[in-house]
Structures are given as C-alpha cells and as structure tokens.
Structure 1
Amino acid sequence: MPIYTDQLNRKVEVTEFPTRIISLVPSQTELLFDLGVGQNVVGITKYCIHPKKNVKKIVKVGGTKDFDIDKIIALNPDLIIANKEENYKEGVEQLEKQFPVWISDINDLKSSFEMISEVGKLVGKQKEAKNLVYKLNQDFKELAKTDSLPERYKVLYFIWKDPFMVAGKDTFIQDILERTNLENSTTSTRYPILDEEKIKELNPQIILLSSEPYPFKEKHIQEFAQMLPNAYIRVVDGELFSWYGSRLNYTIDYLKNLQKDIKLHFSKF
C-alpha cells in the first residue's frame, strides 16, 4: 500500500484507492465531494453540512471534539481524515492504532492548498485537486490586485461570546483578514480571550462577528456598539473565513463585497 506524509509529518499507509472514508472535518468533507469521491464517504461529523443534499444520508459519528469511537470502528474505514486543531488528540490517537489517519494542520492559505493537493493524491483525484488549487490561487491573486480599501483598517474577528474570543495570529482566519487588506488589532496568537476593557483598549475600527462557531446574529451588534460606538460592526459568514477546503470557491466574491461595504462605510466620514 502507498505511504503518504500528512501535515504533521507522520507517515500514513493507505489503500491505493480508499473506498470507506470517514471525515472528521466539515471543510474536508465538502472537499471530498467536490473532488468526486463523495460516494466513498461512509462517515462524517454532525457539523459536516455541505454539500447539503449529499450529507444527509451519511452516518454521523458525533462531533469534531467528541466523535464516537465505537461507531467509527463499526464502519471499518480504510481512511480517516482529521485535523490537528478541530479534532481532539486522544481520540485521534486511539483511532490511528487501528486505521490509517491522515491529519491536516492548517494555519494559512498555503497550508490549505497543500492539504487539498495531498488529499487529492490520497483519494486518486490528483488532477482535480491540482485544478482546484490553481483556480483558487488565481482567485486570491485577483483579490490582491483589487486593492479596494484606501487603508489597512484595524479589525477584531470574534468567534465566541461569554467569554469573548477572537481570531489571533497564526490562524487561517488571520491570513484571510490579511488578504482582505485588514490588520488584526490583537498581536496574540491563536484564539485569545478578551474582556471588555481590553477590547476598548485595542479600539478596532472594524468588528466582524462570525456566524460560527458561535452563532452571532444581528441582535449582537448593539452590544458591541455600546463598547465601541465608532466602530463598523457586522456579522460575517464564518464558513467563508474559516473553511479551508473547496468552500474557498465562494470566498473571493464575498471578500470583494465586504471590501466594498467597508469602503462605503468609511467614505461617509
């Protein structure tokens, strides 16, 4: 059987053409379908919601952090695709004793493209993966050329409430913000917790409230407006900032429209 190296530099021996795949990562589940191997996916998490019409009938093995080991064993996979950040280490370590587990580790667009390419090799869809990476690469190059913002506005991107948690440095979201020509107000790494005093001290010009993992809604905007009355505040589609697979196909147009809205807002002042 072929041996592959995952993004943690682990050697993983996989059946040449895996036909019983379990994905523990929502964005990578969608990728498998878009690469053309959705029929080989036998298990997914309850958070794997795309493509909607295809995932309904697939066995759900629990959440990304609390997947059911026994249910996975019963499905007898010949490949499990996991992620360092999204899945819990102990569970993955238990699974890899019995099954080949390929683990991704994503913190920027470059590592995302590497993941897409490697997953393509794993499932026998190398050409499709290469074409997808090329398209996405061109899309983001086009975004860089638009330069639709007159300056690099400072931003906080909130992913959680009670306590307030934001996306910091060394995250995929950070890279997407950078490519949107926005400057992260926090210099902390990963996902720092901020209290109201610290938020006011950082004083971002823009606050983006992600629709996931915490489901921020329009009703939360007023709460932040009381803290920072001069900030531009809006709810954004979290999938398009944090899903690092084929959902990136929808990200570019979304970011362009976001830039236009930001530019329009600040042009009024």
Structure 2
Amino acid sequence: MLKIKLFAAFLIFFLSQNTFASPARIVSLAPSVTKSVMLLGSSSKLAGITTFCPDPSGSIDKIGTVLEPNIEKIVSLKPDLVIASKEGNLPGPVEKLRKLGIKVYVMDAYRNFDDICLSFIELGKVIGREAEAEKIVTNSKARIDAVKKKTLTLSRPAIFWEIGAQPLYTVSDKSFVNDFIEFAGANNIFADMPIAYPQVSREEVLVRNPDMIFIVMMGDINENERSSWQKYGTLKAVKTGNIHILNDLVFLEPTPEAFAEGTEKLNKVIFEKKGGAGQ
C-alpha cells in the first residue's frame, strides 16, 4: 500500500512538472502560433502578440518581433503561458523567459503536412482545445484528400516555386511547402535538393525547364519578378504563359486549415489555367 501511495505521489508530481493547466493568459511569439490559437477559438486568451501577428481585436498588447521579443513587456503581461515556435523563434529568449519562471511551450518544427497536423493537435492539448484541434485536422485532411482524388488520372506538371529573388531561393521536399505542390497535383523540380530552402541559379531553372513558375509574394519579391522571367523564351512556363504570382497568406501559414485552403487554390490555378500544363 505504501509503495502504491509513493508511486501515486510521484506520478502527480511528474505530471505537474510536464503538463500545462489550461491557460487564461497566453503570449504568442510567432504569427503562426497566433493564427493557430485563433483557429482553436481561443483569441480571447491572447494577452500579447508580436508586431507581425494578426490582431483579432485590434487592441492586443504587442511584445516586439519574432526574433527580438521584449522580455520585460512579456513579464509585465503576467502570462500563464508563452507559446513559441521552433520554426521562427530563437532559443535565447525562450530560455530567458524560463529562467524568470515563466512557462513556455515550444511548438515542434515541421517538414510536411503530417507534422503540421501533429503540432496543431499538441497545441490544442496544451491550451485545452484538443477536441477542436482534432475536428479541424480531420476536416482539413478530408479537403486535401478530395483534391488528391481529382488529380489521380491527370498528368503532373513540373513547377518551380520561388520564395526569394535576389538571390534566388526555392523549396525542396525537406520543406512542408513541397506537400502543397504534390497534393495539388504537380511535381517540384527542386524536390531533390539536400536542404529545405536551397539557393539556386536561373541557369539551373532553365536546365530543369518547368512547365509552370509560382512566385510567392514575400521578402524581396514583388510583381516585377514575373517580368524578369519573360526574357527566358525557351522556358516552357514562358511559352505557355504559366508564370503565376501567389499573394495569399495561406501559402505562408503552417496551419491545417490554411494548408487545405492553399492546396485547393493551387490545384485550381494549375488545372484551370487555359493552356496550362496538366489539362
């Protein structure tokens, strides 16, 4: 009996040190975290967000940037929980907050859609919204399966996904973005690169000769980037008029719902573009 009581006491202590009570005041250190909290119906719990985060009420306190959060400001907000992301936040501020006795939960990194779903569900557990997270993930997977089913018998165009212009950057199959491309019914011409976000040259793009080019509006990229490809007349994408600008946050937000929406939109562009590949 004594052993059972000792074990029970140990178990309670262990769980208290390794779980989070459902928080009432949350500080988010990344836009993806804020968006996830909002999707889970916990916007009212947000006590602080970064300057780059969506602000559902327009009045949530700002705690600095993703890379440089203001520690003093965060402490002053008296959060029950600070949520960070391995994808965007540096470990230094996280450790400083923990040393000050503030609970910090760090969302795992992700390299594909499955990782995004698992991370989202874990967040749901942490903030007391597991059932909502499971429902969103189930719905998102169903939407993506519907897109994949539509493309089973269609030829898959080869595409180049541009995320940086000077220098030129793209994505490989080590990035979750590659699942956008594959689920939508296309093939990534740089899927075989050894790192998630490789720098490439325009000459390499010419050699791999994509059927379509997708330019994501972020960083140093603007509408003029489309015209920079027009001079390469031998490219299939140029010949068929298949250079597309993607100016939509769903392609930048690693949440299950945004992923499903982005997959649907990308599929529509790929297969409904007149004269495009894969029709």
**TM-score normalised by length of structure 2:** 0.82
Query: Cα–Cα, structure 1 residues 252 and 206, in superposed 2: closer, same or farther, change >3 Å?
Result: closer
Structure showing greater radius of gyration is 2
How far apart, in 2, do the equivalents of 1:217 and 1:153 lie? 24
Distance 1:179 1:3 in 2: 41
| Cα RMSD, aligned residues only | 2.5
Specify whether residues 106 and 201 from structure 1 end up closer, same or farther in structure 2 by C-alpha distance, changes over 3 A only. same
Aligned: 1:34 with 2:45: no
Aligned letter for 1:191? Y
Distance 1:183 1:3, change over 3 A: farther
Tell me the residue number matched to 1:59. 61
Structure-2 separation of matches of 1:199 and 1:209: 13
Inter-partner Cα distance in structure 2 for 1:218 and 1:58: 32
Displacement of 1:206: 1.6
Report deviation, 1:43: 1.1
AA matched with 1:193: Q
For 1:130 and 1:86, locate their aligned partners in 2 and report how far apart those are by CA, in whole Å. Answer: 24
The residue identity in structure 1 corresponding to 2:40 is L
1:154 paired residue number: 158
SS in 2 for 1:135: helix
8 Å Cα contact 1:211/1:217 also seen in 2: yes
Tell me if the contact between 1:149 and 1:263 (Cα under 8 Å) persists in the aligned partners.
no
Q: Which residue of 2 aligns with 1:195?
A: 201
Contact 1:12 1:102 (C-alpha < 8 Å) held by counterparts? no
Q: Is the 8 A contact 1:22 1:80 kept in 2?
A: yes
Q: Distance in 1 between matches of 2:139 and 2:262?
A: 12
The change in CA–CA distance for 1:149 and 1:260 in structure 2 (over 3 A counts) is farther
Q: Tell me, in whole angstroms, the C-alpha distance in 2 between the residues paired with 1:159 and 1:2.
A: 47
Q: Relative to 1, partners in 2 of residues 1:239 and 1:148: Cα closer, same or farther, differing over 3 Å?
A: farther
Contact 1:148-1:259 within 8 A present in 2 as well: no
Partner of 1:103: 106
Aligned match for 1:253, one of 261, 264, 269: 264
* Residue of 184, 198, 204 corresponding to 1:180: 184
Percentage identity across aligned positions? 24
**Structure 1 unpaired stretches of 5+:** 5-10
More strand as a share of residues: 1
Equivalent residue number for residue 73 of structure 2: 71
Alignment CA distance shift 1:143-1:3 (3 Å): farther
Deviation string 1:116-139 (CA, Å, 9 cap, x unpaired) is 211111111121111111111111
Structure 2: state its 5+ residue gaps: 1-11
Structure 1's 12 and 222: CA in aligned 2 closer, same or farther, altered over 3 A?
A: farther
Q: Deviations over 1:149-172 (max 9, x none)?
A: 832222221111211111222111
Residue 41 of structure 1, CA deviation = 0.5
Matched to 2:217, the amino acid is S
SS at match of 1:266: coil
Q: Is the 8 A contact 1:12 1:100 kept in 2?
A: no
SS in 1 for 2:213: strand
For the pair 1:236 / 2:236, whether they are aligned, the reply is no
Partners of 2:34 and 2:252 in 1: CA distance: 14
Q: CA deviation at 1:238?
A: 4.9
After superposing the two structures, state which structure 1 stretch, 165-174 or 58-67, moved more: 58-67
SS at match of 2:264: helix
Structure 1 residue 143 corresponds to structure 2 residue 147: yes
| Distance (Å, rounded) in 2 between the aligned partners of 1:217 and 1:20 | 38
**Could you tell me whether the CA contact under 8 Å between 1:148 and 1:260 is conserved in 2?**
no
* Letter of the structure 2 residue corresponding to residue 126 of structure 1: E
Moved more, 138-147 or 21-30: 21-30
